[in-house]
Amino acid sequence: MRPLDTDEPTVVGPYRLLGRLGSGGMGRVYLGRSAGGRTVAVKIVHPHFALDEEFRAR
């Protein structure tokens, strides 16, 4: 796991991001934790995918 860069989000929805697990052609994956302590992987897709209606439908 890599530390978050200063330009990366620290909170996404209900999850506090703790570090970056990886990145690739589709986006980045972060280690997140909920207020209740649940640990999750949070994937954030690149903006051009997020704006594509066909991609979002899948």
Domain ranges of the chain: 11-57
According to the annotation, is 43 in a ligand binding site? yes
Count of CB atoms situated within 10 Å of the CB of 27: 15
Output 21 or 50, whichever has higher pLDDT. Answer: 21
Give 33's contacts (C-beta < 8 A, 6+ positions apart): 15, 16, 18, 39, 40
Q: Say how far apart CA 13 and CA 37 lie, in whole Å.
A: 14
pTM as predicted: 0.84
Question: How buried is 29 (Cβ within 10 angstroms: 0-12 exposed, 13-18 middle, 19+ buried)?
Answer: middle
pLDDT in tens, 2-47: 999 999 999 999 999 999 999 999 999 999 999 999 999 999 998 8
pLDDT category at 48 given cuts 50, 70, 90 is confident
Domain 11-57 coded CATH 3.30.200.20: yes
State the pLDDT at residue 54.
Answer: 83
- The upper half-sphere exposure of residue 36, i.e. CA atoms within 13 Å in the direction of its Cβ, equals 3
